[in-house]
């Protein structure tokens, strides 16, 4: 595309941002839709307040926010969407008349990604492996979209306990419990949607897995691993070995980006262009 005097700018604030795939999503969609917008990584080493105020003063159209600023950015916004306020984390800033308004598109991104594989969240039993930022969003997603029950497994059990407590306090959803990973055999029944939300297995440590005991997968109906590099994690391989379908997290990345793009540009991205962005992402990983 031609960059000219009317080109709008969007970007990703975080640290580090060098390996982000978000420019692939937004620049592909903008190119396909003929939108005069470019999206770039914006590394912010410190002073998130100055970064957000400066971005607003510079007329930046919209921002994504990643680690470590998803919660730290909130005090510098003019408004926060009610769902994002409950979660306590934003990943998308939309320009308004008096400042940026914060949203969380990770949660609907994960929901839409799961749905796109034909998997229902409503009424399902969910196991979340991990208790970091992504697991937290997954737990709120389960509560918002009315799962039947949620079990959070984490290496550091206290972090899982904290998330379970917070979800109940903020949403009223009480069918949620926390266990340490080693206690997985205490989980009742089977047929669970398993959301793998730890860093174990993430590139370059691709031989790691949060759970190696193959009997765990007897509890699973389907596995959704939030990791997308590598394309197939050790956790996914173990799952498939037990005959359980497993998906990677690339569509979550895709759909959180599509949702942000749609808010910045006040458009609906047609499915065939979403598919083009997905193919562009696949060619990069």
Which residue ranges make up the site for ligand NAP (CB under 6 A)? 67, 106, 130-135, 154-156, 159, 197-200, 202, 208, 210, 226-228, 249, 252-253, 256
Minimum distance between the CB of residue 97 and ligand NAP, rounded to whole angstroms?
30
| Choice between 56 and 217, CB closer to ligand NAP | 217
| Ordered DSSP codes for 201-220 | T-TT-TT--S---GGGGGGE
Whichever of 217 and 228 has its CB closer to ligand NAP, that residue is: 228
Three-class SS of residue 275? Answer: helix
The SS3 call for residue 111 is helix
| Residue 186: active-site member | no
Return the number of the residue (56 or 89) whose C-beta is nearest ligand NAP.
Answer: 89
| Beta carbon of residue 111, minimum distance to ligand NAP (angstroms, whole number) | 12
Report CA-CA distances (Å) from 62 to 159, 180, 259: 32, 39, 12
By beta-carbon proximity to ligand NAP, the closer residue of 63 and 134 is 134
The minimum distance between CB 14 and ligand NAP, in angstroms, equals: 11
Nearer to ligand NAP, 11 or 210 (CB): 210
Burial readout 258-267 (b: 16 or more C-beta within 10 A, e: otherwise): bbbbebbbee
Given the residues 6, 70, 146, 284, select the one marked as catalytic: 70
100/97 Cα distance (integer angstroms): 8
Closest separation between CB of residue 201 and ligand NAP, Å?
7
Round to whole Å and give the CA distance between 156 and 181.
8
Count of CB atoms situated within 10 Å of the CB of 28: 21
Look-up: residue for tokens 């730890």? 198
CB of 225: closest distance to ligand NAP in angstroms?
8
What is the β-pairing status of strands 79-80 and 92-96?
Answer: unpaired
Active site residues: 70
């Amino acid at each position: 595309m031609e960059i000219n005097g009317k080109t709008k700018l969007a970007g990703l604030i975080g640290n580090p941002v060098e390996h982000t795939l978000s420019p692939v999503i937004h620049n592909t969609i903008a190119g396909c839709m003929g939108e005069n917008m470019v999206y770039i990584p914006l590394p912010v080493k410190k002073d998130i307040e100055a970064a957000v105020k400066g971005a607003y003063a510079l007329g930046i159209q919209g921002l994504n926010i990643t680690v470590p600023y998803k919660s730290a950015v909130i005090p510098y916004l003019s408004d926060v969407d009610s769902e994002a306020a409950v979660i306590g984390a934003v990943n998308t800033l939309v320009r308004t008349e008096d400042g940026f308004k914060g949203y969380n598109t990770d949660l609907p991104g994960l929901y839409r990604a799961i749905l796109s594989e034909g998997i229902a969240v409503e009424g399902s039993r969910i196991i979340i492996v991990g208790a970091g930022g992504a697991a937290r969003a997954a737990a709120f997603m389960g509560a918002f979209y009315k799962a039947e029950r949620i079990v959070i497994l984490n290496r550091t059990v206290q972090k899982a306990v904290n998330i379970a407590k917070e979800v109940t306090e903020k949403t009223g959803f009480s069918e949620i419990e926390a266990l340490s990973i080693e206690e997985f055999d205490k989980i009742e029944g089977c047929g669970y949607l398993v959301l793998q939300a730890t860093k174990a297995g993430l590139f370059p440590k691709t031989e790691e897995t949060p759970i190696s005991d193959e009997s765990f997968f007897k509890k699973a109906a389907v596995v959704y691993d939030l990791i997308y590099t590598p394309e197939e994690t050790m956790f996914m391989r173990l799952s498939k070995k037990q005959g359980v379908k497993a998906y990677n997290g690339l569509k979550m990345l895709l759909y959180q980006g599509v949702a942000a793009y749609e808010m910045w540009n006040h458009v609906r991205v047609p499915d065939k262009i979403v598919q083009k962005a997905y193919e562009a992402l696949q060619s990069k990983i």
